[in-house]
Structure 1
């Protein structure tokens, strides 16, 4: 960008400076590496432990509040007072306080005694996530969906499908905001279904349950805010000076920033923020497919530079190379090419055999146990111009079968034979092969038809 700006100056458009400005400088490669399985499992376990504890707490108190609203408790009993306190919090109001003799605001005794204290754990955390619990939710969203921190920070509330189907399982439409993708590509949507504990949509259901009271209050105070990750601050703070972030609404904040992620990691006894390395782990190692980016970015920025992927690929590449070599040896033409037939050889459907009794594919009762298609893979076979027409026709017939059969079936039954014939065609040349096709007789067609239909096997 600076180069383009400098080149607008007429004094910098001639001479050696032009060559210097034209020199391309490679973008520095990322030094971020993926986690090991053990490291990432530890991070996910820490996030699950913190978030699920919060979810159970909020669900237990939600049930208590519902029972209070249904009149299930005797008035002024401890359970009734707890229910009343929860109702006050759920409406977005502060619990009643008084000024003690030291001039400090203190929760009134009735609620302090029933709730078991006046701290955050005993009061507002009964219905709302804390900052660290919100980060734990963010880590789980990263692990489940591969979202980066900016996407999680701005994630909007997913909407359940209006017609979830007869099974009643909700399908969530998740709007995603990806600022760095460029103009016209900032927004996309994903659909996930909650059809069980192991399904992708279950985490969305849990996130909505854990934030439902907070989101309801925020919607009353600032309609249209529509953020998924909402948490309650310990104290009401002034409006954030980070203009890229959504400002707080009352005591509620939205999303996750890097500072919160680092604080969470320290509290859990981990290293720095888990989001960059965690996303690389999910995208490059676990899924091995692009997230909210192109295939080219996935390959260059995630896969090729990751040392764990490189290490894991060694055995795969070696095994693939060995398999390719084995298949190449199996599928090349082994039969000997001759200009003329030998009267002592035995004719088969695809070649002549020079030593039937000493076959590399012996039958249990002696002789040769191979099919006629395997003749081209046998060193005892001899192929001369008299075989060319029928073999050219066989090559064409196998190609036609390819369009009529499932790929796996065709590959298993005919793939190697077709490859050997392609090798023969390559050795003979296109001119000889074209002449062979022009000389195919009805007898050749019948012979190949019998070969492909199994008549010759009997």
Structure 2
């Protein structure tokens, strides 16, 4: 079966003829595999397709080892699924991913019996992670960024110096006494070092003796004279993750093709717009990312005044621009349209040997092992991964990156325990500030149902600072806004005198012109409930900044009512009131 990787624009073949099962089952599994990875299935990355194929291989190996292997998929029984679960369970009790992937693929298989179809739709056992993925601290995040920047600065200095040397050599202004310039020119022209024509018995094409014995270093060292090495590509990916917080697949697939949003204007803010692809998002997989020439102040040194013009690696635009320059020749050599392309120590033969985009995790692991960035604990060095860098980015910036605020809260921050105590302190301080602000502002004047039933209207109006006509209109509900009644629309503290008030209806909670009547209670309760519900859709800090003040004001207002009245108001809210609150909290009533 041939599958085309959209992000690589190349084909990958997966053979089902070699699987240790009968030919009929091979064809049935191949058909199910094709449906599972088809466009629109949510699987679009090369790694996801590979994992699915490995799961098929493991499943077939398991079936082949049974005393009585099934001849085709229609002969599968629920007991086979249960036995495969035992096969996939590791020594620590954790079920390998193969089990979930096989069940997902068998759900689209046409040859299963009804009993097996039901079996593969049962929930898979949940794994309890042995170790929870956590973010780096801010200090660790900064040290990782500094190490990656140092690598890229050295690479830029080396490549630019060698390009300048090559230009002088071709111009005839440099004497090549040790054949270094000759080798540099050969590498630039052929994309490889000079090699012997023959092939060894191990299938290797050996570099010529004057290359290996000339004191130039190893072949990967020589090839890195004009291109980034695999480890330097890892440093580039790490710095892009630090700057943008994007997914590992998005980082590795960053395109070289881009649009300059600033139009190359000298005095404008330099901006690059690129297309990124997240296959799991389905029809929303394609999106744009903006890389601006604005420093990321979280990862800069402690004293930002020390930044100079050479520190272009402190902005997303600067990182992208430098990488675009350093990888240009490598992209041309292998015909790739990706940004992160360099020389790898192994590869094919002929032109383009060893040049390919960053794809595997091995260069990232090699970078982590060689740089040994110290941890805050001071014991073992940090293990640097792109997914932990993304987790740290969204925690420190408190904003979603190519996902919703709800995903940020539940999938990233909710499961991260890296710096939870410090974050709680920040949220608590912000919430206390909003509560203090609410209590220092005007408290809404509340008219109870007992007052309205017993008091003289004129005396009650005077007691609440209103004239009789305004009081009469207020009781007739002619002055209602959303949660209260407004007694003086043209003398609001939020606008100028004799000007109609244009403030949000949420501002009524702190306005001296507002009066709360019993019939407002259902709407007040519903708005309070909606603000509470918004907590699960955004980060705690963002919720406090957006809704902390009105929530505190409504809480104080509702505390002045009997809990039974509040429960009755919630239960007795009319459909019109519920629709009004929905429109209000969704900002459909705002003046735009």
User: How would you bin the TM-score normalised by the shorter chain?
Assistant: 0.5 to 0.7
Match of 2:356 in 1: 253
Is residue 51 of structure 1 aligned with residue 152 of structure 2?
yes
Indicate if the aligned counterparts of 1:335 and 1:383 stay in contact, CA closer than 8 A.
no
Alignment RMSD (CA, Å): 4.7
How far does residue 61 in structure 1 lie from its aligned partner after superposition?
0.9
- Residue 144 of structure 1, CA deviation: 0.9
Structure 2 unaligned blocks of 5 or more: 1-102, 198-204, 295-308, 373-380, 480-485, 522-592
Instruction: Please report the TM-score for the alignment, with normalisation by the length of structure 2.
Output: 0.51
Matched, 1:426 2:526: no
Could you tell me which residue of structure 2 aligns to residue 234 of structure 1?
345
28 and 238 in structure 1: CA distance in 2 versus 1, 3 angstrom threshold: farther
Give the conservation status (yes or no) of the 8 Å contact 1:134–1:256. no
Higher mean C-alpha displacement, 184-193 vs 25-34: 25-34
CA shift for structure 1 position 76: 4.2
SS in structure 2 at match of 1:147: coil
1:38 to 117, 139, 157: 139
Aligned twin of 2:210: 108
CA distance in structure 2 between the partners assigned to 1:389 and 1:276 by the alignment:
63
Question: Given the superposition, is the C-alpha separation of residues 400 and 420 from structure 1 closer, same or farther in structure 2, using an over 3 Å criterion?
Answer: closer
Query: In the alignment, which residue of structure 1 is the partner of 2:289?
Result: 190
Does the 8 Å CA contact 1:194/1:205 hold for their aligned counterparts? no
| Residue number in structure 1 paired with 2:29 | none
Cα distance, 1:153 vs structure 2:
2.4
Please give the residue correspondences for 1:280-295 in structure 2 after superposition, counting only pairs within 5 Å.
280-283=391-394, 285-295=395-405
CA separation of 1:93 and 1:401: change in aligned 2, threshold 3 A? closer
CA drift of 1:277 comes to 1.0
- Cα distance, 1:416–1:163 mapped onto 2, change above 3 Å: closer
Alpha-carbon separation, structure 2, partners of 1:92 and 1:213:
11
Q: 2:22 corresponds to which residue?
A: none
- Structure-to-structure mapping, 1:195-206, within 5 angstroms: 197=312, 198-206=314-322
**SS of 2:154 mapped into structure 1:** helix
Which of 385, 404, 410 is the matching residue for 1:300? 410
Residue 418 of structure 1, CA deviation: 5.3
Structure 2: how far apart are the matches of 1:22 and 1:326?
Answer: 51
Cα 1:149–1:402 shift into 2, 3 Å: same
Partner SS, residue 342 of structure 2: strand
What is the alpha-carbon distance in structure 2 between the residues aligned to residue 417 and residue 10 of structure 1?
60
Distance 1:399 1:92, change over 3 A: farther
How far off is 1:238 after superposition? Answer: 8.1
**Aligned residue number for residue 388 of structure 1:** 471
Contact 1:107 1:118 in 2 (8 A): no
Superposed, 1:12-31 pairs within 5 Å as 31=132
Do the aligned partners of residues 420 and 27 (structure 1) sit closer, same or farther apart at CA in structure 2, a change above 3 Å counting? farther
Structure 1 Cα separation of the partners of residues 407 and 349 of structure 2: 39
Inter-partner Cα distance in structure 1 for 2:272 and 2:324:
11
Please give the alpha-carbon distance, in whole angstroms, between the structure 2 residues aligned to 1:419 and 1:179: 49
* Structure 2 counterpart SS, 1:201: helix
Aligned to 1:91, the other structure's residue is in SS state helix
- 1:86 equivalent in alignment to 2:184: yes
Question: 1:167 and 2:266 equivalent?
Answer: yes
Report the CA distance shift for 1:234/1:429 in structure 2 as closer, same or farther (over 3 A). closer
| Mapped contact 2:228–2:343 kept (Cα < 8 A) | yes
CA distance in 1, matches of 2:254, 2:414: 29
Matched, 1:208 2:324: yes
Q: Is the 8 A contact 2:260 2:273 kept in 1?
A: yes
Does the 8 Å CA contact 2:365/2:384 hold for their aligned counterparts?
Answer: yes
Q: Hey, what's the Cα distance between the residues in 2 that align with 1:77 and 1:176?
A: 48
2: CA distance, partners of 1:400 / 1:383: 17
* Deviation string, structure 1 residues 330-385 (Cα, Å, up to 9, x no partner): 33146999846999xxxxxx967xxxxxxxxxxxxxxxxxxxxxxxxxxxx87786
Distance 1:417 1:150 in 2: 47
Residue 217 in 1 paired to residue 320 in 2? no
Whole-Å separation in 2 of the counterparts to 1:309 and 1:402: 43
CA distance in 1, matches of 2:233, 2:445: 66
Partner of 1:364: none
Contact 2:293 2:317 in 1 (8 A): yes
Is 1:137 aligned to residue 236 of structure 2? yes
State the distance in 2 between where 1:40 and 1:331 align.
44
Contact 1:152 1:255 in 2 (8 A): no
Q: Residues 386 and 130 of structure 1: is their aligned pair in 2 closer, same or farther, counting only changes over 3 Å?
A: same
Q: Answer with 44-53 or 128-137: which moved more.
A: 44-53
Q: Secondary structure of the equivalent of 2:256?
A: coil
